[in-house]
Structure 1
Amino acid sequence: MPLTGTREMFARAYKEGYAVGAFNVNNMEIIQGIIQAATEEQAPLILQVSAGARKYAGQAYIRKLIEAALSESDLPIALHLDHGQDFDICKDCIDGGFTSVMIDGSHLSYEENIAVTKRVVAYAHDRGVVVEAELGRLAGVEDDVSSEHSIYTDPEQAVDFVQRTGCDSLAIAIGTSHGAYKFAGEAKLDFARLEKITNMLPDFPIVLHGASSVPQEFVQMANQYGGDIGSASGVPEDLLRKAATYGVCKINIDTDIRLAMTAVIRKYMAENPSHFDPRQYLTPARDAVKKMVQHKIRNVLGCSNKI
């Protein structure tokens, strides 16, 4: 089945009050685990590629791995660029067959963000590709994206930004953050701000970045078998499920997959010190990815049986 865009995915998600999972991919095992989970759950899917993944695996390699997955799947799958830093990166991915790109101008001034987003939108829409933009800034670190402080999204600016740029979805800042260390105290999301933005932009898809929940069972497993992850904490899953009823149609998940995969590999290597065949430890790692994604689809995103 060919790749698809996200317009139809998001329209149904908005109407029915669920979100589509956007899972970051870096290698074959992660892609296979995600596809297996979504196939069993009959869920729509967004596979997204960050700048770090493009550097690590190469865009062509990732594209071919996803082509292999598509040949064995009848799922609606979008291929998305996560955190495109400038026009040239977005153009390269559009020309390379991506069906969705994110232009992240959140590090720029407001007017500069509008200008670069408009440029990407014009190029993308002429080629049938959809565009996600970002307004506001998330704290934390993920690949090449980092910020010490959050800047929450202003609702009035959000309306002006969407109208002036023509973007198809908007990533906003309401309290999530990148990486595994999201909250020093009580976990909170600014639902009043989210509700206001949703009411002012009716039927418009909102995106949450930095939305991994950092399951403590995997933090403990990783630490038990030689890790040093510390006091990592994420966004409680009940808050993410609630967000999907406020117009959030896309929720990004990366850290939880990395954590589950690494914890399982650490455990396997500790229990099987004589093993050195990568297939031996990557098989349970792939299964850990599958189980994590299935859990997210069923219990957080609410998008099982939505195709």
Structure 2
Amino acid sequence: MPFINGKDMLMHAYKNGYGVGAFSAHNAETIQAIIWAAEETQSPVMIQVGQKVIQYMGMREMKSMIETFGEGTTVPIAIHLDHSRQFEQTAAAIKQGFQSVMFDGSGLEFEENARITARVVDIARALGIGAEGEIGKIGGTEDGITVEEEDAAITTVEEATRFVDSTDVDYLAISIGTAHGIFHNAPTIRMERLQEIVTAVQRPIVLHGGSSVPDDQVREAISLGVSKINIDTELRQAFSLGVQEVFNENPEEWHLAVSLDKGRERTKEKVLEKIKVFGSEGKAVDLLGSIAKQEEVGV
């Protein structure tokens, strides 16, 4: 099976200076697009199951579909629960065998966020599942939940250090200038703050709101310790525009196989574009080899 612990995947990226694309899937075609792009580039990927698709389709159902399309895949995949704001949902994903989970307690008081995240980490680690937490509010809208710009806050080094010390979370999402959604003006990632936090916490950092961040900023962030880059809006946009493309050319094309295929094609192109930026091409073999060596020595 190609599915591996999210912590193993991101630690390899962190130690070897590349980024893993965490691509949100919303239907069969976007799942296929992500997997096909990963196969073509021999790149490890995370496939994210977000709150909107859980409301629409169901968490177990979405995970089962990813597993079905992933059968026979040669590249490492981690299925990731994204932005869960409920401990019960996060625990359910762990029970269902997700390879990575995120409890997002960034809207809670620090102590409550740390307390619940620590519980998630303990359960996930016991079952060989990677765990992500978030400290600092990231602006924008995702899955119908909006954080206004004035409420977003750049994560401090002290906050990040306290949170990691309290939770021992495997990888940490921080607020450093990005926002969920498509930017109207190019963002400026706070590179100096990112470097300070990476130095302090010594573990992979997650960049949320990765859609439409300039490539040069993404590459620099990866060089400083960002190991997981979340991409959602740009994939939804690519898929939707691909479907529109078909109807613009022929308004009476009613075969779904035609319109959905064009959406899938455009989504795959976007995933390929991001993988090249993240530097994860060809890393699948190295990652799988590293995991095999760990298993040999019983790590």
TM above 0.5, yes or no, is yes
TM-score by length of 2: 0.91
Letter in 2 for 1:80: H
TM superposition outliers: structure 1 runs of 4+ over 6 Å? none
> Which residue is equivalent to 1:113?
113
Distance 1:240 1:44 in 2: 18
1:167 to 156, 166, 169: 169
Q: Deviations over 1:66-122 (max 9, x none)?
A: 111221302111011000102101011111111110000000011111111112112
Structure 2 CA distance for partners of 1:125 and 1:15, relative to 1, 3 Å: closer
Distance 1:260 1:61 in 2: 24
- The question of whether the paired residues in 1 share the 8 Å contact of 2:7 and 2:131 is answered with no
Equivalent residue of 2:83, what SS?
Answer: strand
Distance 1:89 1:144 in 2: 17
> Which residue is equivalent to 2:102?
102
- What RMSD, in angstroms, separates the aligned Cα atoms of the two structures? 1.2
> Which residue is equivalent to 1:47?
47
Q: Give the Å deviation of 1:183.
A: 4.6
Letter in 2 for 1:120: V
Letter in 2 for 1:167: V
- The question of whether the paired residues in 1 share the 8 Å contact of 2:7 and 2:129 is answered with no
1 or 2, which has the higher helix percentage?
Answer: 2
- The question of whether the paired residues in 2 share the 8 Å contact of 1:26 and 1:56 is answered with no
Distance 2:102 2:239 in 1: 26
Distance 2:127 2:18 in 1: 28
Distance 2:38 2:63 in 1: 19
Aligned residues: 282
- The question of whether the paired residues in 2 share the 8 Å contact of 1:81 and 1:100 is answered with yes
- The question of whether the paired residues in 2 share the 8 Å contact of 1:153 and 1:172 is answered with yes
Distance 1:210 1:270 in 2: 30
1:295 counterpart = 2:269:
no
> Which residue is equivalent to 1:125?
125
TM-score by length of 1: 0.89
Letter in 1 for 2:249: E
- The question of whether the paired residues in 1 share the 8 Å contact of 2:178 and 2:187 is answered with no
Unaligned runs of 5+ in 2: 285-299
Unaligned runs of 5+ in 1: 214-234
Letter in 1 for 2:233: T
Distance 2:143 2:90 in 1: 17
> Which residue is equivalent to 2:290?
none
Q: Percent identity?
A: 41
Q: Give the Å deviation of 1:10.
A: 1.8
Letter in 1 for 2:85: Q
> Which residue is equivalent to 1:259?
237
Distance 2:61 2:14 in 1: 33
Letter in 2 for 1:208: L
> Which residue is equivalent to 1:62?
62
- The question of whether the paired residues in 2 share the 8 Å contact of 1:210 and 1:253 is answered with yes
Q: Deviations over 1:237-272 (max 9, x none)?
A: 111111100110000001111111111211210111
Letter in 1 for 2:239: M
Q: Deviations over 1:257-292 (max 9, x none)?
A: 111111121121011111111111011111111111
Q: Give the Å deviation of 1:2.
A: 4.4
Aligned residue runs from structure 1 range 237-256, under 5 A: 237-256=215-234
Structure 2 CA distance for partners of 1:240 and 1:9, relative to 1, 3 Å: same
Distance 2:181 2:106 in 1: 17
